[in-house]
Amino acid sequence: MHRTMALGSLLLIGCAPPTMYKWSGYDVALYDHYKSPQERALFVTRLAAVITNAEGQGQRVPPGCYAEYGWALYEEGRGADAIVYFQKESQHWPESRVLMEKLIRNASGLRAPAGAKGDAGTVEEGRK
């Protein structure tokens, strides 16, 4: 058993190149979100962590991750916060521009739900 594992490790080291991006468990965050959608706050926090981890190390945030986080904020009615991240996705990944422009337009028209922060002029850097 242990011998098999060691052999497997060797083969895996032989094949797997290091990753280009620092994903910080983005895929696991998605999986857990689909498995336990009620744990939404945790999902949002983990998406934020993908961004802060990469940025903190001066690395490029993986494709789609600014927008994925922005969308999570948008779904919570935080239109102004969402826009910040849609803009970041658009700036860092020109391929996303068409979609991000659409989403920014949508988020601009989003009315903040009662009790939530108004979205006029409160663009902030998001939670860290």
Residues binding other proteins (CB under 8 A): 1, 4-5, 7-9, 11-12, 14-16, 19-21, 23, 26-28, 30-31, 33-35, 62-65, 67-68, 71-72, 75, 93, 95-99
Of residues 9 and 118, the one with the C-beta less far from other proteins: 9
For residues 67 and 55, the answer to whether their CB atoms sit within 8 Å is no
| Residue in the structure block whose two tokens are 């083969």 | 11
Q: Which two tokens stand for residue 66?
A: 């600014």
Of residues 20 and 42, the one with the C-beta less far from other proteins: 20
Task: Give min distance, CB of 121 to other proteins, in A.
Answer: 25
3-state secondary structure 69-110: HHHHHHHCCCHHHHHHHHHHHHHHCHHHHHHHHHHHHHHHCC
Of residues 80 and 82, the one with the C-beta less far from other proteins: 82
